[in-house]
């Protein structure tokens, strides 16, 4: 098992190198001169040229990439071209907001998705199944930014019960978390339903039923436990993708998260921020998924046996 | 974006692909699909949208480009059933023409993902070993970068416009297809009929394209149907932050985005394109779920 | 699920709905006076500041905060007059030598007393750090300290608007000790002499300032100011409506009408300093031909486009300078809307069947709207144009390189002086990044702009700029679009708010009643 974990951790290294390479390449081809961005558009050409040389921007691609990786390994992600602060500090100051939002959204999604999914599966093709699946599908079908706007109109303007934007209190968290949470809930509901449907057809469930166990015990003790593995994976993936993917929702609600910062950085060609930020998001995503994998390797003895 | 549409556990559909492909099997799938009322509703809506896209030039009441600057942001009325937008253009006509854009973006981006992801997945699953390892690590890389950020970065590097948007959206969902196809290929390649083909000297390319891929189609079709929905949403999201398709193209996300500035005074400008997106995605999801149930014989009652 | 649970689900959903309706009925109205946190003035603006080091950036959100944290040598009033700020008096010894005397006993937030050395340090650092706004003091040769309060500024060449530039927020006076102590993070720990001192910066969310009780003109009225960053126009307006913000900067034209209709809100519109224009790339065919440029001016219904794009909150432009800018010529007639004449001019230039071209813009919604309207109007005279929308940084880069055909841009004459409003845009030494993205070159205009820049006599300057504006109008390197109004709004319990045309509003005497 330890070997397995070690192997997975080591595998993160090439993946992170790859992430750096992909992002570095895209930013390399993005038009816009970083030296000019630093000095302002009115800076004289000679000064821009001088700074380009100092920043190593005239070096060939592979040298620049190598230098970036060398510094990143030492924990130096460079300084933002726009705010002139260390990129790590910029990301770090926005990380709590992002983490809070993702966690709240995933929590909402789990609380909604798993119970609805279970009931739907046990009552396949019932009215409840149909209705909850329709609602779950509407959840994924609504563009987040539209849902966010509608919620602001309803809860901030009409009812005046929730603040329309900003960060800090529980009130501020509810709408953005619900906006993202409902679409994540839809994914989890569908996953739970199909995973449960899969499991209830297995022999051991039939055996359990044959033994005369009550339906509740069969579902809760036996079926759910086995159906959870793919559900946990999906939750992990959702949580991971929310960390950087809640860009539009963050904009709508003026949420000071990492996603919005990254989009601003891409727009201003603040390339150290983009590279550093994507690297940190990718690392978090990978660690979350690694944690999920290890978690259910412990839950499920079959997987555990596989990696001994 | 958080609208990642996740396929069922990789084993589910993949394992079902039967080695023998018979016409009666297709008929059986169709029969099961028809029995599913929600899936049929989805299919009907999608057919209507496709019909609207084909006949857009004839059924639109107005030219989608014509502006009437003296009749901007009009509420729905007899002349303009869904009202006019912030430049006095007929919203209904723009939504009708928008079906072309959304379908095009949806299908082309998914085709890109399927072609690239499917190809890599097939190679990876068939050959295994180092090649598999390299490809899958590369997929891990793409998966680790939030897909909306990847799409935004690609569009900002290579410019907006419909083609770049399709490429950006397509690339960002490559990994899920690679994984699905790989799983299917692995489950199929050990079958006897593959051995047989190999014994009579068929080339690897022929085995993969003629024997393996057709049998792995079921999970791909399901994922692609859902993927079209995801691609339309991603493109709308890009347009929403102003990084998508160039005007005067009537892209629904861009229409919604324009309307959001005037949502308090002219609610209809943002609402109808929003509903159009929602209905399309909803129908595609219903159809996708229905297909998944129909293609999975174990779900038979 | 049995009947019981089903009933339970129905009951629960009814309960949730009832709760929503109930809370809706009990909605909190925001009345004429601020209920809580009266001492805190909450200001909503569209973007986060970049840095509060005046030598690190030249962006508007940062300038708005720095305006309150620092003082300048000079002060630009709301009606764009230049007064003394940190300076008690000054006189021009010659056209290139100015002598200044500082106010005594001005203290920085760190307790240091302001002296001539701080002024010298500020300007030397501004130039040495290659500050983005260093061009403002390009004429400055050196600062000579005479004694603690007296110093001399020596210019390399005569420069008419020099003293005006000393009121720009980018020339804010910093303290050497504080800058050294702050090191690389000084931009996050600014120390000035202004009425408010820096307290806290929550990246992407807010900046908090507190009253500086030892301010040399007396303590400010508000105890705390919190700048909040709300990027969406509509959401900023909503924040004001719900009382989450007390003052909102840059109200969207459409939201303005809504806010104006609410009795508890004071919406304020003032003439701004921004010129919106669509430029031609004169280095490219067919825009090298003045007939084509004039034809396009005639083919576009600028008045209607402006009304639609700005919802009526802008004045159609007839020339390059907003009427609020010093030496603006408001008598220029404008081209008017005459598609027939446009077609005739195009035919004369050899484009009877039109041509294909493109309009470039960044993704500013108002510019995109203009572009969409023009695309359609140009189609009517046979010119097919594509619209290219791109991000601001690459947009500026590529237009500076001259890759574009036609492009939409705005220019804010921040200092309110014609030199700032014209030199960078029309002088042939300013091609590309400096501001002349049309590659317009007219030796006579160059000469007039140089004259306006170096002469110290206002009447000579007025004459030079009047002629330059007339020539630019005739050469038509631009389609002159609009002068935007500056739209801001406050709750009506906010007292003392007077908007500034340059957008950095002084909140020294503003408070919640």
Which of B90, B264, B269, B270 is most worth mutating to test chain C (most C CB atoms within 10 A of its CB)? B264
> Where does residue C63 rank: exposed (0-12), middle (13-18), buried (19+ CB within 10 A)?
buried
Residue A123 belongs to a domain: yes
B chain contacts of residue C372, beta-carbon cutoff 8 Å: 67, 87, 247-248
A103 and A240 inside one domain: yes
Same domain membership, residue A156 and residue A58: no
A213: CATH: 1.10.3720.10
Q: What is the pLDDT of residues C458-483, one digit of tens each?
A: 888 999 999 999 999 999 999 999 99
Tell me how far CA of residue C222 lies from CA of C205, C293, C488, C495, C510, in angstroms.
21, 52, 19, 10, 6
Two tokens, residue C36: 């809580």
- Are A150 and A224 members of one domain? yes
List CB contacts of A46: < 8 A, sequence separation 6 or more: none
Identify whether A56 is part of a domain: yes
The pLDDT value given to residue B22 = 54
**Closest CA–CA distance from residue C501 to any residue of chain B (Å):** 24
d(CA B89, CA C373): 11
Least confident of B70-84, B204-218, C427-441: B204-218
The pLDDT value given to residue A43: 67
In whole angstroms, how large is the CA radius of gyration of chain A?
24
Q: Is the pLDDT of residue C395 over 60?
A: yes
- Does residue C341 carry a pLDDT above 60? yes
Facing residue for C187 by CB, picked from A84, A160, A252: A84
Chains near C (3 or more Cβ pairs under 8 Å): A, B
pLDDT at A299: 66
Distance separating alpha carbons of residues B255 and C418, to the nearest angstrom: 39
Q: What are the residues of chain B with a beta carbon less than 8 Å away from any beta carbon of chain C?
A: 65-67, 69, 72, 86-87, 156, 159-160, 242-243, 246-248, 258, 260-265
> Alpha helices of chain B — where are they, by DSSP H?
11-14, 23-35, 37-59, 91-127, 129-144, 147-158, 162-172, 174-189, 192-199, 204-206, 213-215, 217-240, 252-260, 267-295
Q: What is the pLDDT of residue C378?
A: 93
| pLDDT for the residue B151 | 86
* ipTM over 0.90 threshold: no
CB count, 10 Å around CB of C403? 14
End-to-end CA distance of chain A: 5
Q: Which of the four pLDDT bands, split at 50, 70 and 90, describes residue C77? A: very high
- Segment C103-119 shows an average pLDDT of 95
User: Contacts of residue C262 in chain A, CB cutoff 8 Å?
Assistant: none
Q: For residues B283 and B44, give the distance between their C-alpha atoms in angstroms, rounded to a whole number.
A: 8
Helix axes A87-122, A127-141, angle to 10 degrees: 160
Section A22-39 average pLDDT: 80
A window 135-174, beta carbon within 8 A of B: 137-138, 140-146, 149, 153
Same domain? For A112 and A261 the reply is yes
Closest to B296 (Cα-Cα) out of B4, B6, B16: B16
What radius of gyration, in Å, describes the C-alpha atoms of chain C?
26
Min distance A248 CA to chain B CA atoms (Å): 7
Most confident range (mean pLDDT) of A79-83, A131-135, B87-91, C15-19 is: B87-91
| C-beta separation of B7 from B182 below 8 A | no
Confidence label for B182 from pLDDT (cuts 50, 70 and 90) = confident
> Is C51 in contact with A83 (Cβ distance < 8 A)?
yes
Q: Which of A63-72, B30-39, B138-147, C111-120 has the highest mean pLDDT?
A: C111-120
Measure A15 CA to nearest chain C CA, in Å. Answer: 30
Q: Is residue A285 part of a domain?
A: no
How far away is chain C from the Cα of B272, in angstroms, using its nearest Cα?
19
- Widest CA span in chain B: 75
CB pairs below 8 Å between A and B: how many?
175
The partner residue sitting opposite B261, judged by closest CB among C233, C257, C375, is: C233
Q: Return the higher-pLDDT residue of B156 and B91.
A: B91
Structure tokens at C121: 């340090």
Q: What is the DSSP string of B22-47?
A: -HHHHHHHHHHHHH-HHHHHHHHHHH
Do residues C204 and C48 make contact, with C-beta atoms less than 8 angstroms apart? yes
Find the helix or strand (DSSP H, E) in which A79 lies. Answer: none
Do C488 and C251 form a contact (C-beta atoms < 8 A)?
Answer: yes
What is the pLDDT, as a whole number, of residue A40? Answer: 65
SS (H, E, C) C136-172: HHCCEEEEEECCCCEEEEEECCCCCCHHHHCCCHHHC
Record: contact B69-C255, CB cut-off 8 A: no
B68 falls in which pLDDT band (50, 70, 90)?
Answer: confident
> From the candidates A48, A51, A80, A84, which should be mutated to test the interface with C, based on the most C CB atoms within 10 A?
A84
Domain boundaries, chain B: 27-64+79-299
Q: For residue A282, is it within any domain?
A: no
CA distances from residue A124 to A57, A139, A194, A200, C273 in whole angstroms, order as listed: 61, 20, 10, 11, 66
Nearest CB partner across the interface for A137, out of B153, B157, B286: B286
Exposed, middle or buried by CB within 10 Å (0-12, 13-18, 19+), for C443?
Answer: exposed
Residue C30 to chain B, least CA–CA distance (Å) = 19
Residue in C242, C365, C385, C487 to test binding to B, most B beta-carbons within 10 Å:
C365
What part of C 255-284 touches B (C-beta under 8 Å)?
Answer: 255, 257-258
In this structure, are A44 and A115 located in the same domain? no
Query: What pLDDT score was predicted for residue A32?
Result: 73
In chain C, the percentage of residues whose pLDDT exceeds 70 is 93
| A108 lies in the same domain as A54 | no
Q: Residue A283 falls within a domain, yes or no?
A: no
B218 phi and psi angles, rounded to 5 deg: -55, -55
Interval A38-44 mean pLDDT: 67
Q: What pLDDT, on the 0 to 100 scale, is given for residue B297?
A: 57
Q: What residues of chain B lie within 8 A of the CB of A191, using their CB?
A: 6, 8
Q: Token pair 């007292």 is at which residue?
A: C495
DSSP state at residue C187? G
Count of alpha carbons within 13 Å of C180, Cβ hemisphere only? 5
Which helix (H) or strand (E) segment holds residue C482: the answer is strand C478-491
Contacts of C58 in chain A (CB under 8 A): 40
**Inter-residue contact C211 to C220 (CB < 8 Å):** yes
Residue C23 has pLDDT above 70, yes or no: no
A25: closest chain B residue by CA: B157
Nearest CB neighbour to A167, from listed C132, C205, C242: C205
β-partners of residue A305 are none
Tell if the CB–CB gap between C254 and B261 is shorter than 8 Å. Answer: yes
**Closest by Cα among C354, C338, C332, C320 to C477:** C320
Give contacts of C409 with chain A, Cβ < 8 Å: none
Q: Say if CB A92 and CB A165 are below 8 A apart.
A: no
Give the side-chain half-sphere CA count within 13 A for A300. Answer: 20
Select the residue of B86, B243, B248 nearest C375 (Cβ to Cβ).
Answer: B248
Cα(A183)–Cα(C42) distance, rounded to whole angstroms? Answer: 33
Both A158 and A214 in a single domain? Answer: yes
Select the residue from A137, A267, A275 to test the B interface by mutation, using most B Cβ atoms within 10 A.
Answer: A137
3-state secondary structure of C101: strand
What's the pLDDT at B9?
41
Burial of A301 (0-12, 13-18, 19+ CB in 10 A): exposed
The CA-based angle C186-C189-C192, given to 5 degrees, is 95
C362, containing H or E segment: strand C356-362
For residue C329, give both structure tokens: 């010529």
b/e string for B39-68 if b means 16 or more Cβ within 10 A?
bebbbebbeebeebbeebeeebebebbebe
Q: What is the pLDDT of residue A29?
A: 81
| Residue C183 backbone zone (phi > 0: left; psi -120 to 50: alpha; other: beta) | left
Q: Is the pLDDT of residue C18 over 60?
A: no
pLDDT tens track for B249-296? 888 888 888 888 888 788 888 889 989 999 998 998 888 888 877 876
Instruction: Show residues of chain C in contact with A47, CB under 8 Å.
Output: 130
CB contact under 8 A, A42 and C434: yes
Are C118 and C175 in contact, with CB atoms under 8 Å apart? yes
| pLDDT greater than 50 at residue B12 | no
The SS3 call for residue B239 is helix
Does residue A54 sit in the same domain as residue A148? no
pLDDT at C74 over 90: yes
Q: What element of type H or E holds C274?
A: strand C265-280
Rounded to a whole number, what is the distance in angstroms from the first to the last CA of chain B?
36
Residue of C nearest to B157 (CA): C394
Determine the pLDDT at residue A142: 84
Checking if the pLDDT of A256 tops 50, the result is yes
Contact B149 A248 (CB under 8 A): no
Task: Encode pLDDT of A257-301 as tens digits.
Answer: 988 888 888 887 888 888 888 888 888 888 888 888 777 777 665
| Comparison of pLDDT for C307 and A44, the residue scoring more | C307
Give SS3 for A145: helix
Domain match, A124 and A252 both: yes
Other CB atoms within 10 Å distance of the CB of residue C24: 14
Q: Please, which pLDDT band fits residue C26 given cuts at 50, 70 and 90?
A: very low
Least confident piece of the model among A33-47, A91-105, C45-59, C98-112? A33-47
In sequence order, which residues have a C-beta less than 8 Å from that of residue C268 and are 6 or more positions away? C487, C488, C489, C490, C497, C499
Lowest mean pLDDT among A212-226, A248-262, B145-159, C175-189: A212-226
For domain B27-64+79-299, say whether CATH 1.10.10.60 is its number. Answer: no
Residue A50 placed within a domain: yes
User: Tokens 């590309």 label which residue?
Assistant: C432
The answer to whether position A40 is within a domain reads yes
* Chain B closest-CA separation from residue A5 CA (Å): 17
> Could you read off the pLDDT of A173-217 as tens digits, one per residue?
999 999 888 888 888 888 888 788 877 777 777 777 777 777 777
CA distance C72 to C86: 6
Contact between chains at A149 and B1 (C-beta distance less than 8 A): no
For each of the domains in chain C, give its residue range(s) and CATH number, in order of start.
Answer: 3-51+185-270+490-512 (3.40.190.10), 67-183 (3.90.76.10), 272-485 (3.10.105.10)
* Residue from the list B154, B260, B281 with its beta carbon closest to the beta carbon of A140: B281
Domain around A255: 94-267
pLDDT tens readout for residues C279-332: 999 998 899 999 999 999 999 999 999 999 898 899 898 889 988 888 999 889
The structure tokens listed for B89 are 């253009």
C-beta separation of C212 from A142 below 8 A: no
Largest Cα separation within chain C, whole Å, is: 96
pLDDT averaged over chain B? 81
Q: Are A50 and A154 in a shared domain? A: no
Of C257, C362, C255, C369, residue with least CA distance to C305: C369
Interface test with A, best of C204, C206, C391, C409 (most A CBs within 10 A): C204
Decide if C393 and A268 are in contact by the 8 Å CB cutoff: yes
Note the pLDDT of residue A304: 52
C56 vs A133 pLDDT, higher one: C56
Q: Report the mean per-residue pLDDT for chain A.
A: 82
Per-residue pLDDT at C339: 92
In a domain, A173, yes or no: yes
Please report the pLDDT score of residue C25 as a whole number.
39
Calculate the CA C381 to chain-centre distance. Answer: 35
What's the domain count of chain A?
2
Of C378 and B183, which is predicted with more confidence?
A: C378
Residue at token pair 């010894």: C93
Do the chains contact at B263 and A194, CB–CB below 8 Å?
no
C211-220: which pairs have CB atoms within 8 A and are 24 or more residues apart?
C212/C109, C214/C107, C216/C103, C216/C105, C216/C106, C216/C107, C217/C508, C219/C195, C220/C195, C220/C196, C220/C507, C220/C508, C220/C509
What letter would DSSP give residue C488? E
Provide mean pLDDT across the span C252-277. Answer: 90
pTM: 0.84
Neighbours of A (≥3 Cβ pairs closer than 8 A)? Answer: B, C
Taking alpha carbons only, the member of A267, A46, A83 closest to residue C433 is: A46
Residue B160 has pLDDT above 80, yes or no: no
Residue A12 has pLDDT above 60, yes or no: yes
Q: Which residues of C touch A273 (CB under 8 A)?
A: none
């Amino acid at each position: 098992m330890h070997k397995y974990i070690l192997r997975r951790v080591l595998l993160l290294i090439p993946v992170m190198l790859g992430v750096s390479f992909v992002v570095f390449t895209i930013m390399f081809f993005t038009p816009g001169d970083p030296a000019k961005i630093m000095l302002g558009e009115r800076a004289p050409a000679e000064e821009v040229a001088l700074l380009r040389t100092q920043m190593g921007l005239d070096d060939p691609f592979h040298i620049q990439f190598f230098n970036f990786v060398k510094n990143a390994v030492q924990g130096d992600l460079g300084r933002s071209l726009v705010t002139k602060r260390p990129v790590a500090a910029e990301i770090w100051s926005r990380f709590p907001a992002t983490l809070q939002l993702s966690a709240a959204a995933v929590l909402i999604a789990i609380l909604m998705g798993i119970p609805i999914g279970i009931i739907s599966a046990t009552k396949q093709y019932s009215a409840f199944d149909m209705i909850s699946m329709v609602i779950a599908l509407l959840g994924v079908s609504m563009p987040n930014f539209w849902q966010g706007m509608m919620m602001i109109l309803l809860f901030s303007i009409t009812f005046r019960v929730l603040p329309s934007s900003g960060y800090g209190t529980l009130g501020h968290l509810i709408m953005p978390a619900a906006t993202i949470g409902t679409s994540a809930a839809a994914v989890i509901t569908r996953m739970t339903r199909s995973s449960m449907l899969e499991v209830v057809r297995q022999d051991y469930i039939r055996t359990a039923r044959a033994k005369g166990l009550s339906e509740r015990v069969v579902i809760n003790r036996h079926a759910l436990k086995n159906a959870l593995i793919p559900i946990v994976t999906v939750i992990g993936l959702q949580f991971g993708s929310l960390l950087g993917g809640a860009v539009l929702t963050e904009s709508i609600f003026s949420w000071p998260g990492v996603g919005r910062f990254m989009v601003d950085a891409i727009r201003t060609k603040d390339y150290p921020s983009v590279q550093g930020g994507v690297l940190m998001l990718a690392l978090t995503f990978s660690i979350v998924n690694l944690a999920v994998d290890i978690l259910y390797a412990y839950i499920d003895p079959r997987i555990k046996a596989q990696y001994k | 974006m958080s609208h990642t549409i996740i396929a069922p556990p990789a084993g589910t559909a993949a394992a079902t692909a039967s080695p023998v492909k018979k016409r009666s099997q297709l008929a059986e799938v169709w029969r099961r699909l028809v029995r599913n009322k929600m899936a049929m509703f989805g299919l009907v809506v999608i057919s209507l949208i496709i019909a609207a896209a084909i006949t857009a030039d004839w059924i639109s009441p107005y030219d989608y480009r014509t502006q009437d600057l003296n009749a901007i942001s009009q509420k729905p009325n007899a002349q303009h059933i869904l009202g006019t937008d912030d430049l006095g253009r007929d919203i209904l006509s723009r939504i009708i023409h928008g079906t072309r854009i959304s379908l095009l973006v949806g299908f082309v981006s998914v085709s890109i993902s399927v072609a690239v992801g499917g190809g890599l997945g097939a190679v990876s699953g068939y050959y295994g070993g180092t090649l598999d390892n390299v490809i899958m690590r590369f997929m891990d890389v793409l998966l680790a970068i939030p897909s909306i950020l990847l799409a935004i970065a690609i569009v900002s590097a290579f410019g907006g416009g419909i083609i770049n948007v399709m490429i950006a959206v397509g690339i960002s969902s490559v990994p899920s297809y690679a994984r699905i196809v790989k799983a299917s290929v692995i489950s199929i390649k050990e079958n006897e009929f593959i051995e047989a083909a190999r014994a009579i000297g068929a080339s690897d390319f022929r085995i993969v394209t003629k024997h393996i891929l057709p049998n792995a189609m079921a999970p791909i079709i399901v994922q692609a149907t859902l993927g079209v929905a995801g691609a339309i949403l991603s493109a709308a999201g890009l347009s929403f932050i102003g990084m998508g398709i160039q005007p005067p193209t009537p892209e629904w996300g861009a229409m919604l985005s324009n309307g959001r500035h005037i949502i308090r005074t002219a609610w209809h400008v943002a609402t109808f394109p929003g509903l159009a997106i929602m209905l399309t995605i909803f129908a595609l999801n219903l159809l996708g779920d229905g297909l998944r149930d129909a293609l999975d014989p174990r779900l038979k009652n | 699920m049995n009947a019981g649970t089903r009933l339970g689900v129905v009951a629960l959903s009814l309960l949730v709905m009832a709760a929503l309706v109930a809370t809706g009925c009990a909605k909190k109205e925001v009345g004429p006076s601020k209920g809580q946190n009266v001492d805190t003035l909450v200001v909503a603006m569209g973007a986060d500041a970049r840095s509060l080091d005046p030598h690190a950036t030249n962006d508007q959100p940062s300038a708005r905060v720095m305006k309150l944290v620092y003082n300048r040598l000079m002060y630009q009033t709301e009606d764009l007059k230049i007064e003394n700020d940190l300076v008690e008096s000054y006189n021009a010894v010659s056209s290139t030598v100015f002598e200044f005397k500082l106010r005594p006993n001005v203290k920085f937030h760190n307790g240091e007393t302001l002296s001539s050395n701080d002024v010298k340090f500020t300007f030397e650092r501004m130039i040495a750090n290659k500050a983005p706004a260093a061009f403002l003091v390009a004429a400055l040769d050196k600062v000579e300290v005479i004694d603690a309060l007296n110093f001399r500024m020596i210019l390399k060449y005569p420069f008419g608007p020099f003293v005006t530039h000393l009121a720009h927020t980018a020339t804010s006076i910093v303290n050497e000790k504080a800058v050294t102590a702050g090191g690389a993070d000084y931009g996050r720990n600014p120390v000035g002499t202004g009425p408010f001192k820096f307290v806290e910066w929550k990246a992407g969310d807010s900046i908090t300032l507190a009253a500086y009780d030892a301010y040399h003109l007396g303590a400010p009225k508000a105890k705390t100011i919190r700048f909040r960053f709300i990027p969406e126009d509509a959401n900023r307006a909503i924040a004001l409506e719900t009382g989450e913000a007390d003052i909102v900067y840059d109200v969207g034209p459409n939201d303005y009408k809504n806010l104006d209709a609410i009795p508890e809100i004071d919406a304020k519109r003032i003439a701004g300093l921004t010129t919106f224009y669509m430029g031609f790339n004169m280095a490219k065919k067919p825009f090298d031909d003045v007939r084509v440029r004039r034809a396009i001016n005639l083919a576009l219904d600028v008045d209607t486009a402006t009304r639609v794009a700005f919802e009526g909150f802008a004045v159609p432009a007839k020339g390059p300078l907003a009427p609020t800018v010093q030496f603006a010529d408001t008598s220029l007639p404008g081209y008017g809307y005459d598609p027939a004449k446009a077609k005739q001019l195009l035919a004369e230039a050899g484009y009877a069947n039109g041509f294909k071209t493109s309009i470039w813009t960044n993704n500013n919604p108002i510019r995109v709207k203009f572009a969409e309207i023009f695309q359609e109007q140009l189609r009517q005279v046979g010119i097919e144009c594509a619209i290219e929308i791109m991000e601001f940084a690459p947009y500026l880069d590529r237009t500076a390189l001259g890759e574009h055909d036609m492009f939409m841009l705005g220019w804010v004459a921040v200092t309110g002086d014609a030199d700032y409003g014209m030199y960078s845009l029309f002088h042939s030494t300013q091609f590309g990044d400096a501001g002349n993205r049309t590659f317009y070159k007219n030796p006579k205009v160059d000469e007039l702009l140089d004259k306006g820049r170096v002469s110290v006599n206002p009447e000579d300057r007025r004459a030079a700029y009047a002629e330059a504006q007339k020539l630019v109008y005739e050469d038509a390197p631009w389609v002159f679009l609009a002068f935007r109004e500056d739209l801001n709004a406050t709750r009506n319990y906010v007292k003392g708010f007077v908007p500034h045309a340059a957008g950095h509003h002084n909140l020294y005497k503003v408070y919640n009643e």
